[in-house]
A and B are shown apart, each in its own frame.
Chain A
Amino acid sequence: MSTLPGVSRRRFFHMIGGGIVVFVSLGPTAVFAQEGANRLFVYPKDYNAYLVIGKNGRVAVFSGKIEMGQGVLTSQAQMVAEELGVSLTSIDMVLGDTDKCPADMGTFGSLTTRMFGPVLRAAAAQARVELVALAAQKLGAARDSLLVEHGTVFVAGQPRRRVSYGELSRGAKIVRTVQSDAILRSASEFQVMGASPRRLDGLEKVTGAAKYAADIRVPGMLYARLLRPPTHGATLLQLDTSGVEHLPGITLINHDGLVAVLHTDPEAAEDALGRIKTLWQGSATKVDPESIHERLVSQAATLKTLAERGNVAAVRSNVKHVFEATYKKGYVAHAALEPHAAIAQIREGRATVWASTQTPFPTRDKIAKALGWNPMQVRVITPFVGGGFGGKSADGQAIEAARLAQITGKPVQVAWSRSEEFFNDTFDPASVVKIVSGIEASGRIALWDSVVYSAGERGAVACYDIPNALFRSSGGASYGPPGPQASLHPFATGPWRAPGANMNVFAIESQIDMMASAVGEDPLAFRLRNLTDPRMRRVLQAAADAFGWQPAAAPSKRGVGLACNIDAGTYVATMAEIKVDAASGRVQVIRMVCAQDMGIIVNPEGAKMQIEGGITMGLGYTLAEELRFLGGDILDRNFGTYEIPRFSWVPRIDAVFVKNDDLAPQGGGEPPITTTGAVIANAVFDATGARLYRLPMTADRVRLAIAALSANCSKSFSTPA
């Protein structure tokens, strides 16, 4: 965990030149991100620069967050423009540069707007107060007689008595250190926040000018290709590099387990890699997608209680209906379109590494460790990132590039092939959720006893009012590198967009639906009967209104479903209409409505894009994505066999926002994906009467579930599994 500040103040001043530099001192309340039980140290208590107002009036904003498509380049600029009183076009964002930006743990967990946003807004709001004070001196006017518009301070009613922010800083280096308790503008005052300007990264992205890590060119740079084992856990027995040693222009490295070939032409490096002869001893592990679930349960760590109410054991024998089900899910790849890439250059005792990463500061520290250096000798610069979804936090490629630059003394690019991208992925773990639940004759849920294996804790505690409930988990997501120390999974696993919540919500909301169906009640009415949280009730109602939800017990043969969840502070309710082709089992989603209460919305169009993107990506884990593997052998190595959602899969998606301007902005990037699996599963049940207990719901699995249903009519769908 990094606690180092981004850069020394002296060094920072040297880089910036003149202008007004605004530092922010954070109180202890802003230091912790509240993410379940894992309290992460997110921001340093040290002083860090957030804003520099230049002589030309332009405002440089420094943020340790990175832009990977989620739109925070634009939304952070909006927050500063709003609080500082400048136009959006006068802002230059500097993201993810460890020499310039305030230290940050990384861009994940839907934390940027929720946790960093208030800090950034406070910095800008305090800067505005300081600038108005400077203007008051300069104009000889009382502070409270001054107004700010587009970066100019003027005397109310006397617009000619004015001074711009740029003029205030002219010829001087002015430093202001402010506390983070600034008074922020309220939603009713917003001019820039709450609007949907075009994305600031748009022009670069539609013209091909946007630079991603692999697009950085450094004079003298070599392209590296690295020798990888064929399977995780394999040991290298023989290595014969004689076929490449005399190839023109090839640099061969065999250093402390790192075998690589480098060339000025990436194809020549690739060709050379193919000429290295190896003999490997495979690993004995033979677990596969079918046997993994038994292993996850039998080898689970001690169960941890996440929440407990009432007395589960006592009511179990008394409730009218008891439902018991086991839900399963396989491994899912991140499969960002941009594979990991990094360029490392070492000069005068400092390493500069351009990396596709969600975590520039921790990456800097890992690189320093690998080089045997002090972190301040390493600078990580993050260009645009071509999709992250949690998968760009391990940073193996950046360490590889830095090590090769150190060994060869030349700038080195390491850009993973798609095959390496799959092989080295930190997959969303396979998981199992077991639930026993029960209802009274009144239709009230009286009992809930659930155990989560390997999915993790996020989304594991249902939001319903259940008097007797016990929620347990086998202790986190069991993330870790492959190898004997992490015997649960045969390869690395890690965070994947809303880690664990996709599986947990699939299980919980399927179980809720199953109970509603068993008592012959409309699934929306059943949920409302068992929910008192007013925010969730409002969100469900908003979704129902927009969708045109018609009450009926499932299965109604209409193919409609719903699911809801609370994630990253945001309330989300999703409804779907689907069609199932009974012969093939293929599911086609026709339309979806997603309603959210996410507090103040900084950029409504950006929030909609996250809803559309989350749902669309969610269709992958819901309908198709499941890594094929045998032990440590990753069998899916490209999109030819690993299917991700395509244009024809995507339904019409409508986003609905439930206004809640009294609440600070909440998470946006992850909540909408969490309900996708559940809502489609419930719609499949509504369409066919077959309940799917395993993700993904591939055509084969749906077809078999329907076939099993008709083969065994007497155990009709109205009784629980």
Chain B
Amino acid sequence: MKRPISFELNGRRVTLNTDDGRTVLWVLRTDFALTGTKYGCGEGVCGACTVIVDGKAVRSCLIHLKDIERQRVLTIEGLAHNGELHPLQQAFLEHGAFQCGYCTSGMLLSAAAFLREIPNPSRDAIVSHMERNLCRCGAHQRIVAAIESAARRMSGPS
């Protein structure tokens, strides 16, 4: 149904007058040209399109505009704050936790939502949480190391 629909996108309130059944992934990529959110499978099985909605990591290829009405949506473009990289972004850089980079946005947002819920996860918990995010280049062990290191940095002084 075409109607005005509002939500918060990367800290900014936005309103679209469009069909509320449109898929969030394509709205982000076309209407907002936020192309850091990637299409990988269209079925929610690869995780490349992960965004954070009201604190939870969700697959933007599976949700529609009406699902995010009046909610807070964070995409990779909003992860750095005031020009400062998120500790996870910093850790991914330091550990070289990417190769082609296509899965990276989804990995970062999936990890960011996870660390907000579980600030000091075990290695096994990280692996288990990231299991549904696919990477074909094989950056896995660096991604896990980066998440561990970001968790340490975020959870306190040392």
Residues of A within 8 A of B (CB): 68-71, 198-199, 201-212, 214-215, 217, 223, 264-267, 335-339, 384-387, 389, 415, 417-418, 605-606, 609, 612-617, 638-640, 644-648, 650, 652-653
Query: Are A605's CB and B36's CB within 8 A?
Result: no
Interface membership of B12, Cβ < 8 A: no
Q: Could you tell me the distance in whole angstroms from the C-beta of B71 to the nearest C-beta in chain A? A: 20
Using CB atoms, name the residue of chain A closest to B86: A206
Q: Could you tell me the distance in whole angstroms from the C-beta of A204 to the nearest C-beta in chain B? A: 8
Complexed CA–CA distance, A215 and B36 (Å)? 8
Complexed CA–CA distance, A210 and B100 (Å)? 10
Interface membership of B131, Cβ < 8 A: yes
Of the residues A385, A647, A653, contact of B130 by C-beta under 8 Å: A647
For chain B, the count of residues having a C-beta within 8 Å of the partner chain is 57
- Tell whether A647 pairs with B99 under 8 Å between CB atoms, given A206-B92, A267-B26, A612-B138: no
Q: For A644, what are the chain B residues with a Cβ–Cβ distance below 8 Å?
A: 134, 136
Q: For B33, what are the chain A residues with a Cβ–Cβ distance below 8 Å?
A: 217
- Kindly list 8 other residue pairs between chains A and B, CB separation below 8 angstroms, not including A207-B80, A338-B40: A201-B101, A206-B85, A267-B26, A386-B100, A387-B102, A389-B136, A415-B39, A612-B138
Of the residues A266, A389, A640, A647, contact of B45 by C-beta under 8 Å: A640
Using CB atoms, name the residue of chain B closest to A384: B101
Q: For B139, what are the chain A residues with a Cβ–Cβ distance below 8 Å?
A: 609, 612-613
Query: Are B43's CB and A640's CB within 8 A?
Result: yes
Nearest 3 pairs of A and B residues by beta carbon? A208-B36, A616-B138, A69-B100
Of the residues B43, B85, B105, B131, contact of A638 by C-beta under 8 Å: B43
Q: For B140, what are the chain A residues with a Cβ–Cβ distance below 8 Å?
A: 612, 616, 645-647, 650
Complexed CA–CA distance, A228 and B131 (Å)? 32
Using CB atoms, name the residue of chain B closest to A204: B101
CB proximity to A under 8 Å, residues B100-158:
100-105, 108, 126-128, 130-144
Query: Are B89's CB and A207's CB within 8 A?
Result: yes
Q: Could you tell me the distance in whole angstroms from the C-beta of B6 to the nearest C-beta in chain A? A: 20
Interface membership of B41, Cβ < 8 A: yes
Query: Are B101's CB and A617's CB within 8 A?
Result: no
Query: Are B40's CB and A418's CB within 8 A?
Result: yes
Query: Are B101's CB and A198's CB within 8 A?
Result: no
Interface string of B63-81 (1 = CB under 8 A from A): 0000000000001110110
Q: For A389, what are the chain B residues with a Cβ–Cβ distance below 8 Å?
A: 136
Using CB atoms, name the residue of chain A closest to B127: A647
Q: Could you tell me the distance in whole angstroms from the C-beta of A704 to the nearest C-beta in chain B? A: 27
Interface membership of B96, Cβ < 8 A: yes
Complexed CA–CA distance, A605 and B98 (Å)? 12
Query: Are B127's CB and A387's CB within 8 A?
Result: no
Query: Are B79's CB and A207's CB within 8 A?
Result: yes
Q: Could you tell me the distance in whole angstroms from the C-beta of B33 to the nearest C-beta in chain A? A: 6
Using CB atoms, name the residue of chain A closest to B106: A337
Query: Are B42's CB and A417's CB within 8 A?
Result: yes
Query: Are B45's CB and A69's CB within 8 A?
Result: no
Query: Are B42's CB and A418's CB within 8 A?
Result: yes
Complexed CA–CA distance, A68 and B136 (Å)? 11
13 A-B Cβ contacts within 8 A? A202-B96, A206-B92, A207-B36, A207-B79, A215-B35, A337-B134, A338-B40, A384-B100, A418-B42, A418-B46, A639-B45, A646-B131, A647-B128
Q: Could you tell me the distance in whole angstroms from the C-beta of B95 to the nearest C-beta in chain A? A: 10
Interface membership of B38, Cβ < 8 A: yes
- Tell whether A202 pairs with B102 under 8 Å between CB atoms, given A337-B38, A337-B136, A650-B140: no
Interface membership of B56, Cβ < 8 A: no
Query: Are A335's CB and B136's CB within 8 A?
Result: yes
Of the residues B77, B100, B141, contact of A652 by C-beta under 8 Å: B141
Q: Could you tell me the distance in whole angstroms from the C-beta of A397 to the nearest C-beta in chain B? A: 14
Query: Are A69's CB and B99's CB within 8 A?
Result: yes
Q: Could you tell me the distance in whole angstroms from the C-beta of A75 to the nearest C-beta in chain B? A: 13
- Tell whether A337 pairs with B142 under 8 Å between CB atoms, given A209-B36, A418-B43: no
